[in-house]
């Protein structure tokens, strides 16, 4: 217990010493500064306290009744009227002021404040301007250097009367060093306090290591290297991210332009090759046997090139999708697609739906063409609709390993010639609010789309 008490006492003395150190550091910093104004303490002390008190500027309601104050106000304005309710000293004051007579010596020292508020000298000077009465004016009625005290707030004037040695007024510091009151502007004292490691602010309810009148002193927070480095690092990361995004965007534009040019340039020679193939097909019987064996490879290669060019055209136009929904009879539409690709068509139920038919056909054509080329027959096309979502499964009978499936999904295609087709399908489905899933074995492409029944007038239009 004794040790705990000693420890508390030591901590208290250490805190007091640290607090005293802060004020000493501020004193030392301001000792080197040039004040904006100096006012001798003797001159301030020579003033009557009532001529500093801000309450003296208000009518003396506590010492005079309302009738007396009204009579005084009327007599001061007109120099005529009834003063029966006014006390004798102030009756004599008003009559002497209006009659341009002198008052007894020492009268302003005995009665420095007028009952209506303000100094008696100020009221007297409204009728008889006498320069020698300037020393009996209230600080807020003065035009000399003491009038600088009048610029202080009511709280600061009350603190000055209470004996405070430090005042804070609109960022300026007032300090009494025993001989004078000195005022320092914010542009002067703030750099000095910062150099001394001090944080000076107006006293409030916050944390305050040392309070000096209206001031609150705290040790200045040390600038941590991390506090400087972290914003810089964040800015560099942001700039780096923006640069990377811009670079990727530029590369995408360049690749898209290159693909557009390549697609455009390939379509002409592909059309020429297709014409050659058709000519050879018509004269197939005249070809030698060795040429007939190779004709199938040539025709298949030309067909694949044509499909690739067509897929590239769809891929480039996928940014400008026309997603206008059209009424489709599901059974008729799916049967046409399945017949075109020699696929077995399975439908759990018939419905008329409002769907973007063109782009949905593009998706299925891509998937079924790839399934026919790389899978094992028979191809199967399953369709299910639960009233809210349409699910289409294309099963190609293939046996892709798990790592190949993951590779297809991760790269958006790129394996076995299915990359461009899958990229088209995934982008179009995302724009239509659906999604594509790839699973296996057997290799299954699942398309899921939000779907609703077509309206009655659309039914009639289809029928």
Regarding whether 430 and 332 lie in a shared domain, the answer is yes
pLDDT digits (tens, 9 = 90+) for 345-404: 887 767 788 877 777 777 787 778 777 766 777 788 888 888 788 888 888 777 766 656
Kindly report whether the global pTM for this prediction surpasses the value 0.75: no
For residues 447 and 417, is the Cβ–Cβ distance under 8 A? Answer: no
For residues 448 and 389, is the Cβ–Cβ distance under 8 A? Answer: yes
Q: Which segments of the chain have a pLDDT < 70?
A: 1-20, 204-206, 220-228, 256-265, 311-323, 349, 373-374, 400-421, 455-463
Instruction: Quote the pLDDT of residue 280.
Output: 78
Regarding whether 168 and 38 lie in a shared domain, the answer is yes
Instruction: Quote the pLDDT of residue 253.
Output: 77
Regarding whether 14 and 150 lie in a shared domain, the answer is yes
pLDDT digits (tens, 9 = 90+) for 422-457: 777 777 778 778 888 877 777 788 888 888 787 644
Domains held by the chain: number: 4
CB-CB neighbours of 326 under 10 Å: 15
Instruction: Quote the pLDDT of residue 227.
Output: 64
Instruction: Quote the pLDDT of residue 303.
Output: 75
Regarding whether 437 and 346 lie in a shared domain, the answer is yes
Look at residues 86, 102, 134 and tell me which one is the last residue of a structural domain: 134
Regarding whether 73 and 30 lie in a shared domain, the answer is no
Regarding whether 152 and 66 lie in a shared domain, the answer is no
Mapping DSSP onto H, E and C, the string for the chain reads CHHHHHHHHHHHHHHHHHHHHHHHHHHHHHHCCCCCEEEEHHHHHCCCHHHCCHHHHCCCCCCCCHHHHHHHHHHHHHCCCCCCCCCHHHHHHHHHHHCCCCCCCCHHHHCCECCCCCEHHHHHHCCCCCHHHHHHCCHHHCCCHHHHHHHCCHHHHHHHHCCCCEEEECCEEEEECCCEEEEECHHHHHHHHHHCCEEEEECCCCCCCEEECCEEEEECCCCCHHHHHHHHHHHHHHHHHHHHHHHHHHHHHHHHHHHHHHHHHHHHHHHHHHHHHHHHHHCHHHCCHHHHHHHHHHHHHHHHHHHHHHHHHHHHHHHHCCCCCEEEEHHHHHHHHHHHCCEEEEECCCCEEEECHHHHHHHHHHHHHHHHHHCCCCEEEEEEECCCEEEEEEECCCCCCHHHHHHHHHHCCCCCCCHHHHHHHHHHHHHHCCEEEEECCCCEEEEEEECCECCHHHHHHHC
Regarding whether 190 and 171 lie in a shared domain, the answer is yes
Look at residues 222, 245, 269 and tell me which one is the last residue of a structural domain: 222
Regarding whether 436 and 292 lie in a shared domain, the answer is no
pLDDT digits (tens, 9 = 90+) for 2-27: 444 444 444 443 344 444 677 777 77
**Hey, CA dihedral for 220, 222, 226, 228, is it positive or negative?**
positive
Regarding whether 362 and 449 lie in a shared domain, the answer is yes
Bridge partners (DSSP) of residue 182 are 38, 175
Block residue for tokens 């209206």: 214
Regarding whether 168 and 48 lie in a shared domain, the answer is yes
Instruction: Quote the pLDDT of residue 420.
Output: 61
Regarding whether 453 and 405 lie in a shared domain, the answer is yes
CB-CB neighbours of 395 under 10 Å: 23
- 455 contacts: CB under 8 Å, gap ≥ 6: 327, 354
Regarding whether 277 and 378 lie in a shared domain, the answer is no
- 247 contacts: CB under 8 Å, gap ≥ 6: none
**Range(s) of the domain holding residue 203:** 1-52+138-222
Measured CA distances, 191 to 33, 70, 186, 187, 188 (Å): 10, 54, 9, 7, 6
Instruction: Quote the pLDDT of residue 6.
Output: 40
Look at residues 187, 222, 257 and tell me which one is the last residue of a structural domain: 222
């Amino acid at each position: 217990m004794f040790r705990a008490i000693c420890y508390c006492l030591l901590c208290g003395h250490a805190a007091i010493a640290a607090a005293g150190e802060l004020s000493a550091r501020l004193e030392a910093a301001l000792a080197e500064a040039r004040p904006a104004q100096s006012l001798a303490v003797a001159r301030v002390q020579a003033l009557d306290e009532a001529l500093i008190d801000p309450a003296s500027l208000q009518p003396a309601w506590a010492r005079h009744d309302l009738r007396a104050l009204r009579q005084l106000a009327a007599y001061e304005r007109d120099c005529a009227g009834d003063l029966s309710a006014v006390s004798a000293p102030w009756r004599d004051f008003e009559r002497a002021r209006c009659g341009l007579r002198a008052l007894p010596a020492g009268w302003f020292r005995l009665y420095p404040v007028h009952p209506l508020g303000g100094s008696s000298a100020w009221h007297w000077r409204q009728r008889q301007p006498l320069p020698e009465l300037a020393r009996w004016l209230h600080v807020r009625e003065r035009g000399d250097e003491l009038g600088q005290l009048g610029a202080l707030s009511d709280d600061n004037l009350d603190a000055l009367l209470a004996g405070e040695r430090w005042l804070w007024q609109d960022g300026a510091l007032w300090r009494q060093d025993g001989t004078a009151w000195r005022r320092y502007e914010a542009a002067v004292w703030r750099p000095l306090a910062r150099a001394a490691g001090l944080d000076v602010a107006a006293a409030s309810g916050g944390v305050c290591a040392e309070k000096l009148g209206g001031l609150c002193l705290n040790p200045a927070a040390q600038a941590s290297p991390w506090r400087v480095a972290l914003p810089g690092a964040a800015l560099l990361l942001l700039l780096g991210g923006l640069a990377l995004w811009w670079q990727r965007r530029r590369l995408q534009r360049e690749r898209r332009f290159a693909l557009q040019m390549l697609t455009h340039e390939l379509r002409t020679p592909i059309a020429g090759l297709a014409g050659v193939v058709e000519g050879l097909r018509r004269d197939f019987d005249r070809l030698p046997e060795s040429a007939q064996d190779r004709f199938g490879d040539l025709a298949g290669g030309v067909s694949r090139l044509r499909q690739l060019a067509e897929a590239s055209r769809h891929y480039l136009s996928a940014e400008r999708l026309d997603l206008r929904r059209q009424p489709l009879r599901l059974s008729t539409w799916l049967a046409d697609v399945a017949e075109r690709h020699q696929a077995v068509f399975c439908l759990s139920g018939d419905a008329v739906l409002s769907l973007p038919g063109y782009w949905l056909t593009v998706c299925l054509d891509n998937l079924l063409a790839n399934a026919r080329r790389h899978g094992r027959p028979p191809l199967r096309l399953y369709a299910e609709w639960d009233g809210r979502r349409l699910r289409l499964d294309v099963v190609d009978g293939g046996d892709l390993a798990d790592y190949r499936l993951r590779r297809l999904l991760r790269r958006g295609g790129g394996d076995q010639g299915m990359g461009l087709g899958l990229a088209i399908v995934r982008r179009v489905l995302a724009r239509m609010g659906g999604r594509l899933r790839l699973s296996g074995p057997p290799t299954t492409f699942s398309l899921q789309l939000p779907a609703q029944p077509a309206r009655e007038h659309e039914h009639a239009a289809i029928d």
